[in-house]
Chains A and B, each alone.
Chain A
Amino acid sequence: MATGPFVAEVRTDIDILFEGIRVLYADFTVAEVADFADFHMTFGRPRSLRRWFYPQVCFLFDDQSPFQPLPLNQAPAMFEWCFNWCISSCANQYLIVHAAAVERDGYAAILPGPPGSGKSTLCAALVDRGWRLLTDELVLVSMETGHVIALARPIALKNHAIELIGSFVSGAVFGPECRDTLKGRVAHLRPPTTSVVRASEPAKPAWLVFPKYSGERVAGARPVPKGQAFMRLAASAFNYTLHGANGFATLSSMIDRMACYDFEYSSLDEAVDWFDNLKRLNDPMAGDERGSFDS
């Protein structure tokens, strides 16, 4: 199947995984036989008693097994995690940031955040209210253009966020729910068809927003100084050090272009309203603060 710039060959005989892919990737281009694939992934049962007793699922990448098996009923979640691992391990032609990203009018809002910050939940809400999904987990930045490349894969939600988005998003379609994972209950939300169809369209980074769900407080945002924003974005980039001086230059240019905020919210409606006003707060067409860059 084609997801953004990648083609993945996926082999499995596990029904729950096949069903999950059928539901969540319904709008993606799927071929019977891949002529060329960036990743070769196989999900199958172990050749041991664990094939039948407390059954497990194993992952093979190019016929190598990089991870321990998981319970069979976690196969759909394992597929998404392993797909993320393939991209973050192999796609070093991009600068890869652990963040969600959404797009409007050609401009991207990048949302870095640790697990539990609510970035995927917020991403799912924004995507339902007019923003295009670029990614919920891995932001790929072109080293040539500095643009964000879309993946538009299913959005991972955990625990109570599953019910929250299920009621927030009209007609939400989820893949199989996986229980008792290390992250608790996990289910993936099918991405909007429009986001999948437009996955070949990159976006210019315009806003960097560090989200934090904070219970009962009213939504509010504080500008983040550019130097601090740079360091926090670098800390979220898996392969920043791998790119050396080019990574420094790419991140510098991104920070030049982006208005940077810490954003706290307690309701998704509040958060959506604030994001809808982002362009008014800081119009990317008005020009960026190009810091000086010298050696």
Chain B
Amino acid sequence: MWKSASLIWKSWTDGVVVYNTASGSTHLLNPVAAKVLRLLEDRPLELASITREVALSENVAIDEDLTEQVKKLLSSLAELGLVEPASSCALPN
């Protein structure tokens, strides 16, 4: 289960930046990362649910490759402090 950090967003038609209120860092997001963070702002989600939403918005099939890419994206976002595990279990499922 993953959840997002507390973020302030600024969106333009050609780009999205977020400010992490906890760390004070600022990040430029690609569209998929922005999509995932928006989802996790609404509520914590499991990897499978996130992957399903990404597949729908990007109009691609859900397969192992997509799941792996979403897993890597979540790891990258976690390294940046933009997402974190929503439970005490730190391993993505």
Residues of chain A touching chain B, judged by Cβ–Cβ distance below 8 Å, are 225-228, 230-231, 234, 240-241, 244-245, 248-249, 252, 255, 289, 291-295
A-B contacts at CB below 8 angstroms, number = 59
Known pairs A292-B10, A293-B9; A226 contacts B15 (CB<8 A): yes
Q: Is the CB of A227 within 8 A of B14?
A: yes
The listed residue (B6, B14, B21, B29) touching A226 by CB distance below 8 A is B14
Most buried by B among A234, A248, A249, A294: A248
B16 interface residue (CB < 8 Å to A) = yes
What residues on A are CB-neighbors of B11 within 8 Å? 291-293
Q: Is the CB of A244 within 8 A of B24?
A: yes
Q: Is the CB of A230 within 8 A of B14?
A: no
> Which secondary structure dominates where chain A touches chain B?
helix
> Which secondary structure dominates where chain B touches chain A?
strand
Known pairs A230-B28, A234-B26, A295-B8; A248 contacts B19 (CB<8 A): yes
Subset of 6 A-B contacts with CB under 8 Å: A227-B15, A240-B26, A245-B8, A248-B10, A292-B10, A295-B8
CB of A67, distance to nearest CB on chain B (Å)? 29
Residues of chain B touching chain A, judged by Cβ–Cβ distance below 8 Å, are 6-17, 19, 21, 24, 26, 28-29
- CB-nearest residue of chain A relative to B13? A289
What residues on A are CB-neighbors of B28 within 8 Å? 227-228, 230-231
What residues on A are CB-neighbors of B12 within 8 Å? 225-227, 255, 289, 291
Query: Which 5 residue pairs spanning A and B have beta carbons closest together?
Result: A227-B15, A291-B12, A226-B12, A225-B14, A248-B19
Bound-state Cα–Cα, A225 to B12, Å: 9
Q: Is the CB of A227 within 8 A of B8?
A: no
